[in-house]
Amino acid sequence: MLHYLPFQLSSFAGDIDQVIRVIYYIVGTWFVAAEVILFWLIFGSRSKPGVRAAWLPGTGRAKWAVLAPVCAVLACDLIIEKASSPTWEYVKLDIPHPDVEVKIEARQFAWIFTYPGKDGILGTEDDLVAKELHVPVNKKVVFHLEAADVLHNFYVKDLRLKQDAVPGRSIKGWFDTNTEGTYEIACAEICGKGHTLMGSKLVVDSNEAYQSFLAAL
């Protein structure tokens, strides 16, 4: 099933897939174990002639029937934590120096992308506005994600990037890309009647094509 994971467009996509793999195998093992125990209990505990049901007080050896799974779940949590914390640090805490900076605004039901104009500063009068997100390939893009009305979520599956957009907040994040092409942007938070139509495109351009895109805005 894991080979259905989408293309790895960002430098952190492989790391995130690795975390998904760890969780997949841990949860998969638990699922199989839980079903085996469930059916064993159902069929093993059926009424037998001459055997009366007994009440177990949950002390002595019986308490380990509860404590052992609790300890195992805690151990699995720590394994997932250990596997995911370097990725979390790389993606969420170490925001790199940007090659491109863009403001991403989500509103019912569209995405608006704002680039700095000639002055290179976002939030000034010469800013450039686009309906598609163009970025140059192999560059680091830092975004400032905002929501104009309700909760939205900026989701690009090929980047393995999914970030809530929260009204009243500007959330900073980053990504990079390794292959030119056009990729889907979706809103991953049910935000109203037009939610399913709230899509856009991430276009990863060559450097020249990106400059032409900016010049045409």
Task: End-to-end CA distance of the chain: give it in Å, rounded.
Answer: 42
Q: Which one-letter DSSP state was computed for residue 108?
A: T
> For residues 7 and 203, what is the distance between their CA atoms, to the nearest angstrom?
15
Contact status: 160 vs Cu ion (CB under 5 A): no
> For residues 177 and 205, what is the distance between their CA atoms, to the nearest angstrom?
10
Nearer to Cu ion, 140 or 152 (CB): 152
Among 103, 134, 152, 160, binds Cu ion (CB under 5 A): 152
> For residues 171 and 143, what is the distance between their CA atoms, to the nearest angstrom?
8
Binding region for Cu ion (CB under 5 A) out of 36-44, 140-148, 179-187, 208-216:
179-187
Among 91, 133, 135, 191, binds Cu ion (CB under 5 A): 191
Contact status: 156 vs Cu ion (CB under 5 A): no
List Cβ neighbours of 172 (8 Å cut-off, separation of 6 or more): 95, 142, 143, 144, 145
For residues 196 to 215, the per-residue mask of contacts with Cu ion, x marking binding by CB under 5 A and - elsewhere, is --x-----------------
Binding region for Cu ion (CB under 5 A) out of 60-68, 121-129, 189-197, 202-210:
189-197
Binding region for Cu ion (CB under 5 A) out of 17-25, 64-72, 137-145, 186-194:
186-194
Contact status: 102 vs Cu ion (CB under 5 A): no
| DSSP E strand stretches across 98-180 | 100-107, 110-115, 128-130, 133-136, 141-147, 152-156, 161-165, 171-175
Residues that bind Cu ion (CB under 5 A): 152, 187, 191, 198
